[in-house]
Amino acid sequence: MSRAILIVLDSFGLGAARDAKTFGDEGADTFGHIIEAADNGKADNEERQGPLNLPNLERLGLFAAHQMKKNGKALENNVQGLYGYAQEKSKGKDTPSGHWEMAGFPVMFDWGYFPKTVPCFPTELTDALIQKCNLPGILGNCHASGTEIIERLGDEHVKTGKPIFYTSADSVLQIAAHEESFGLQRLYDLCNEARKLVDDLEIGRVIARPFTGTSGHYERTANRKDLAVPPAEPTLLDRLTETGHEVISVGKIGDIFAHRGTGEIVKASGNMALVDATLEAMDRAKDGALIFTNLVDFDQSFGHRRNVAGYAQALEEFDARLPKIENRMQPDDLLILSADHGCDPTWPGSDHTREVVPVIAYSKSMPARNLGERDTFADIGQSIAMHLGLSPLKHGTSFLE
C-alpha cells in the first residue's frame, strides 16, 4: 500500500528566507530562537525545562536541515529521513499562500490588506454588514491579537451584542463573537456576508472566531471557520480528486482550500487531538490516499502569542507522537513534515515571519538523503504527485527523482 501523509507544523520556520529583509524579518528564526531560549532557561515552564528534547525529529533530520540552513553544512549523524528546507515563491507570508504553494500553486499576485489605522476597515464595508446583518454596531476595527482583543472587548461584546472585528498583517478579516450570547450560526452567517463583500478588496480569508466563557475567562473554541477564496489554479488536491484518489483533510485544511478537492473533512481541537485524528485516518485510508493535516496550535497558540515555552513544549509533545505515526505507516507510505511560514515567538510584534520551512520526509522503503535547499514549497506537492502516480504538476520539482 502506497499513501502520503503531509503534516504541516503551522508556522514552524527554520530561519530567514532570502527575501526576509523585504518583510522586515531579516534575522527571524523560529526553530533556532526556540533552541536558544531553551538552552538559556528562557523556555522553561511548569511542564518542561532545559534544552529542547526532540529525539525523533532529530533522527528524521530536522536538526540537520536547520544546521544546513544556518551554517551551510548539515550534521548528518544517524539521520534516517530525507531532509532539507524550502524557500517560498509566493508573495505573501500567510497561511493560504503557504499551503497552496506546497500543493503546487505558488501565489504570485498581491493580496489586499487592511491598513494599520483605527478604524482599519472601510466604512462602506462595515456599514453594509451592520445593515445587512442587523447589527447594533461593531467593536475593535483595528489590528490586534485575537486572544488579546477578546479579553479586552469580550465584556462589552456580550453586553451590547456588537461583534468584534479585527485584522492582522495577513490578508484577513476576523470576526469574534460569543457562541451563546451572539450565536454560532449567526456568526457564520455574518462571516458569509463579509466574504461576499471583501472579494473586490482581494482579501484572502474571512475567519469566524467564536469563543465561550465569562468575564476574565473567555476561551476560543474549535468552531473556528475560515472562508477563503479558492485557489486560482488547480492544486494537487484537485488532481487527486479528479483521478479518484482519496483525500482526508485534518484540521483547517478544508477551509484553507475553500473545500475544493479536500475530500473528507476531519475536525479536532488542539495539536494532540489532530494527531489522534491523523492516526485514525491512517488506519482506514486506502491505497493512493493523501492525508493532509494542519497542526494549528504552533501558530495560533504559541507563535502569535510569543509564547516560547509553550511552543517548545508543543514541539516536544509532537515529537513524542512521531513513533506512533511511523508505526502506522505501511512499507511504501510517504510521510512529509513541513510548515507554511514562520512565526518566530521571539520576534517583535505578533505577525508571521518570512522564513524557509523544513522539508522532512520519511518512508520505510527510502534511504536517508540530504535534499538540500528547495526553490519552492511546490516541490512537496510535486513529490507527492510522483509518489501517488499522478502526472507532473505545473510547478515544483520532485525530490523523489
Question: Is 393 part of any domain?
Answer: no
Q: What is the 3-state secondary structure (H, E, C) of 92-139?
A: CCCHHHHHHHHCCCCCCCCCCCCCCCCCCCCHHHHHHHHHHCCCCCCE
Q: Are residues 132 and 172 in the same domain?
A: yes
Domain that holds residue 99: 4-108+232-387
Strand partners, 373: 85
Q: Are residues 40 and 10 in the same domain?
A: yes
Q: Are residues 170 and 45 in the same domain?
A: no
Question: Is 376 part of any domain?
Answer: yes
Q: Where a domain ends, among 180, 202, 228?
A: 228
Three-state DSSP class for 112?
coil
Three-state DSSP class for 64?
helix
Q: Where a domain ends, among 172, 200, 228?
A: 228
CATH number at residue 196: 3.30.70.1250
Q: Are residues 338 and 238 in the same domain?
A: yes
Q: Are residues 87 and 134 in the same domain?
A: no
Q: Are residues 240 and 307 in the same domain?
A: yes
Q: Are residues 290 and 379 in the same domain?
A: yes
Question: Is 8 part of any domain?
Answer: yes
Q: Where a domain ends, among 198, 228, 258?
A: 228
pLDDT in the model for residue 169: 82
**Residue pointed to by grid coordinates 538559556:** 40
Q: CA–CA separation, 387 vs 398, rounded Å?
A: 9
pTM of the model: 0.91
Q: Are residues 95 and 241 in the same domain?
A: yes
pLDDT in the model for residue 1: 55
Per-residue pLDDT of the chain (401 residues; tens, 9 = 90+): 599 999 999 999 999 999 999 999 999 999 999 999 999 999 999 999 999 999 999 999 999 999 999 998 877 678 999 999 999 999 999 999 999 999 999 999 989 999 999 999 999 999 999 999 999 999 999 999 888 999 999 999 999 999 999 998 889 999 999 999 999 999 999 999 999 999 999 999 999 999 999 999 999 998 999 999 999 999 999 999 999 999 999 999 999 999 999 999 999 989 999 999 999 999 999 999 999 999 999 999 999 999 999 999 999 999 999 999 999 999 999 999 999 999 999 999 888 999 999 999 999 999 999 999 999 999 999 999 999 999 999 999 999 97
Amino acid in position 346: T
Half-sphere exposure of 187 (CA within 13 A, CB side): 28
Q: Are residues 267 and 326 in the same domain?
A: yes
Shortest CA distance to 65 belongs to which of 132, 12, 139? 12
pLDDT in the model for residue 186: 98
Question: Is 260 part of any domain?
Answer: yes
Q: CA–CA separation, 158 vs 236, rounded Å?
A: 43
Q: Are residues 223 and 237 in the same domain?
A: no
Question: Is 395 part of any domain?
Answer: no
Looking at the 3D structure of the chain, how many domains does it have?
Answer: 2
User: Residues with Cβ < 8 Å from 109, sequence gap 6 or more?
Assistant: 91, 202, 232
Which cell numbers hold the place of 209? 472566531
